[in-house]
Every structure is written in C-alpha cells, then in structure tokens.
Copies of this chain bind each other. A is one copy, B any other.
Amino acid sequence: MLTRIDHVGIAVPSLSEAIPHYEEAFNLKCVHQETNERQGVREAMLLVHAGETGGSYVQLLEPLREDTPVGKFLAKRGPGIHHIAYGVDNIDAALASLTVAGFELINKTPVHGTSNSRIAFIHPRALGGVLTELVEAAAGH
C-alpha cells in the first residue's frame, strides 16, 4: 500500500527562519512553497531524496493564523514534528481499505494537497497518537 515516506511535517513559527536553517544544516534545497488556505498553512518542501517512487521531503509548516491546526499545535506543544506522510499509488483504494478495517479517518475522501497531490489524514486516535497523512502525487511529481 505504501510506496515511500513522502514527508515529515514540521511545525515552525517562521518559514523565513526555518528554511535557511534546514538548508544550512543538511545542505537541502527548498524546491517548492505554497499556501494551503484550507489547511491554514504556508508550506515549504525541502527535498531529501528523489526516489524512483517519488520524492521524500522535509515539509516546514507555518500557520496562517493562530486558530488553525498548526497554529494550535504550536501554542500547545511548541515547534516540532506535526505529522508523517506516506506515499500511495491509489489513495481511494487506500482509504477504502482503512475504512473497511475500522481506522478512523479525518478525510473520508481526498482533499487538495501540496503540488496538486490528493491527500487524506488518518485520525491520530487510530494510530497511537500519530497524525498520519496519505499522499497520492499528481502526475509528473
């Protein structure tokens, strides 16, 4: 079902500080930035590895406002790892399989993700406190 670790999402107070810090630490490159209004974040993707099943990234997440999931996470827990995302070939099939097995989903159908991917979150209650995202990359990504 899973094709790779697509990214680790890290909550940060400021992208403009976190991006150069990560670039310097690991000689990474920020290859993409976008704002996702629905998720309430500005996100930056730093490429770790371009694998044969798709890329693996560090995703830095800056909340657009305090009353967003990442804004609340920062207020409650401080900066740190927010979620883990796995690549899948077919997100509809993956969600159907998880639903049949009784895993609680936040998104029962895919929503818009980074770089026009289709994504869905699994509830942390279903996976031992770990907010988990599935990502079906757009064609060409």
- Which residues on A are within 8 Å of B, measured CB to CB? 1-5, 8, 10, 12, 18, 21-22, 24-28, 48-49, 51-53, 56, 77-81, 83-84, 86, 97-98, 101, 103, 122, 124, 126-130
Contact = CB atoms under 8 A, between A and B. Distances in A.
B98 A25 contact: yes
Contacts of A24: 101
Q: Secondary structure at chain A's binding surface: helix, strand, loop or mixed?
A: mixed
Nearest to A3: B49
Q: Give the oligomeric copy count.
A: 2
A70 to B, nearest CB: 13
A129 B8 contact: no
A98 to B, nearest CB: 7
